[in-house]
Amino acid sequence: MFYELFLRSFADGNGDGIGDLKGATAKLDYLKELGMEGIWLLPIMSSPSYHGYTVTDFYDVNSVYGDIKELRHFLAEAHKRNLKVILDLPLNHTSTNHEWFLRALNGEKPYLHWYLWLENKSWLQARRPWDKQKVWTPINDTFYYSLFGPGSPDLNYESDSLWQEGRRILTFWLSLGFDGFRFDAAKHIFDFSRESGNCEYLHDKNIEFWADMVTHSKKINPGAVFVSEVWDDWETVENYSSTFGIGFNFPLSYVVKEAIEEKSATKFVKGFRGTMPHYFDDARSFESGIFLTNHDMTRLVTSVGGNHSLALFAMSVLVGVPGLPFLFYGEELGMEGTYNELFNEEQLEPFPWYESGFGPGQTEWKAVDKNRPNTGRSYETQKSRKDSFFSNYKRIVAFRRDHPWIRCARVETLYEESGCVHMTLKSETRQMTLVYNFSDAPVWAECRGKIVNLVGSAHGSDNRVLLEPWTSVALK
């Protein structure tokens, strides 16, 4: 299991109110105790933006987070605890403040060719696929391509020298001790067609690029982990994931939450079959990175209407699914926050270590709204309460940690009966059946084996179990 860590909001190590590497290093024991096996570190490169996805220097750490020495120490301490660390690397674009872009504006080579400039006025008609926003930004007497907004000029990997620069960037971070990468916007390296003048995902060219980057990285660290972010349908995700080894499964995250919202075991079964077909046999070419939320999504508790029981039920479903789980920071406390594409800070609020909202290590870089002090949501309040959201969440995570074989298991059977999902997982030497009651009513189910309650309440009798509403059990 990997923990998605946003440094700015997690833990402050130098007293300036901004989370940093020193603060995160001090909290590594917390992550290990929580049951994590790895950390997905959101961008830490030099950047003017709070989120870090607009980079000004691919070879340095953002000064608000620390320096290279502190990064080496963080990685070394993580490795002492057997925690792998992968870096979120946005190779698709830079900041307008990047030296490359500024030198390109001056007409300097090779930087001029490292960005995509308007060559035909008809290209100005191109629009972003998901919201029809303009993709060309005017500057001086020309336009640059900026799919993710004016502050993010896209890089042009048609340039061989830039392609080689991408390799050097990977070499740099791997040499510092990172265990791999989460590649941001993987399908966007080539997403504009000069022929048509439109935004088009040139998947074959993208996959060729990433195959080269992965091959290069494996020469440096044969055991490196690569995760692709491709927010698309199953078929497209599959095409990319085979190159990386692990691909984020966005469709599955929606299947779980929509099935809960609609109280439909049938929806889950149908959706699971459509988004996880590679787990029904042993001949799979990649793993799914499974999750319920991340930094680009509304937080789990908020997405289920503030219902903690439903949020914990969703987590119990996730830990019973094959693949590699990724958990967003703060979800273990039941933090809330709605994602808004224009103002998307709400789901990135500071991790509440203290009930008062203040104390050593507490980040204060932004005002909080959804996760206010004195609401019982802090780690300080929840850690010692056996009935707290945190304690229940931690217990669910522990179930997955204690059954690591689930990650590569085969789905032997999957069906719906009387509002319950029955899923049997099998490996060479192990087998387990999970039963989930996706309804507001208690349901009798035929179940054989030792019952392990994940969430809710179940009572067994003569191979039959009464599952209370929104109850999950594992049968060994």
The predicted-structure confidence for 298-352, as pLDDT tens digits, reads as follows 999 999 999 999 999 999 999 999 999 999 999 999 999 999 877 778 999 999 9
Domain match, 312 and 450 both: no
Looking at residue 423, its pLDDT comes to 97
Residue 184 a catalytic site member? yes
Q: In the sheet that 443-446 helps form, which strands lie side by side, from edge to edge?
A: 443-446, 464-467, 458-461
Looking at residue 90, its pLDDT comes to 97
Q: State the amino acid at position 233 in one-letter form.
A: D
Domain of 464 in residue numbering reads as 409-475
Tell me how far CA of residue 122 lies from CA of 153, 195, 197, 461, in angstroms.
19, 11, 7, 72
CATH label of the domain that carries residue 376: 3.20.20.80
Say whether the peptide bond before residue 442 is cis (omega within 30 degrees of 0). no
The DSSP H or E segment spanning 469 is none
**Residue 174: inside a domain:** yes
**Residue 372: inside a domain:** yes
Domain match, 282 and 196 both: yes
- 410-427: b (≥16 Cβ within 10 Å) or e: bbeebebeebbbbbbbbb
**Residue 125: inside a domain:** no
Residue 387 a catalytic site member? no
Indicate the residue among 404, 434, 450 that finishes a domain. 404
Domain match, 430 and 317 both: no
Indicate the residue among 404, 431, 466 that finishes a domain. 404
Indicate the residue among 353, 379, 404 that finishes a domain. 404
What is the token pair recorded at 113? Answer: 């060719």
**Residue 340: inside a domain:** yes
Looking at residue 284, its pLDDT comes to 87
Looking at residue 450, its pLDDT comes to 84
Helices (H), 125-264: 160-176, 203-220, 234-244, 250-261
* Residue 159 CB neighbour total at 10 angstroms: 18
Domain match, 396 and 417 both: no
Which parts of the chain sit beneath pLDDT 70?
none
Domain match, 359 and 441 both: no
**Residue 138: inside a domain:** no
Domain match, 347 and 392 both: yes
Q: Do the bridges between strand 136-139 and strand 142-145 make them parallel or antiparallel, or are there none, so unpaired? A: antiparallel
Looking at residue 448, its pLDDT comes to 78
3-class DSSP state for residue 373?
A: coil
Domain match, 422 and 344 both: no
**Residue 418: inside a domain:** yes
Domain match, 384 and 458 both: no
Looking at residue 434, its pLDDT comes to 96
With beta carbons less than 8 A apart as the criterion, state whether 67 and 59 touch.
no
Domain match, 300 and 417 both: no
**Residue 144: inside a domain:** no
Give the total number of structural domains in the chain. Answer: 2
Domain match, 303 and 449 both: no
Catalytic residue among 20, 37, 88, 184: 184
Domain match, 395 and 423 both: no
CATH label of the domain that carries residue 440: 2.60.40.1180
Domain match, 443 and 311 both: no
Looking at residue 464, its pLDDT comes to 85
Q: State the amino acid at position 468 in one-letter form.
A: E
What is the token pair recorded at 175? Answer: 């040499």
Catalytic residue among 37, 88, 229, 331: 229
**Residue 140: inside a domain:** no
- 164-200: b (≥16 Cβ within 10 Å) or e: ebbbebbeebbeebbbbbbbbbbbbbbbbeeeebbbe
With beta carbons less than 8 A apart as the criterion, state whether 434 and 473 touch.
yes
- pTM higher than 0.85, yes or no? yes
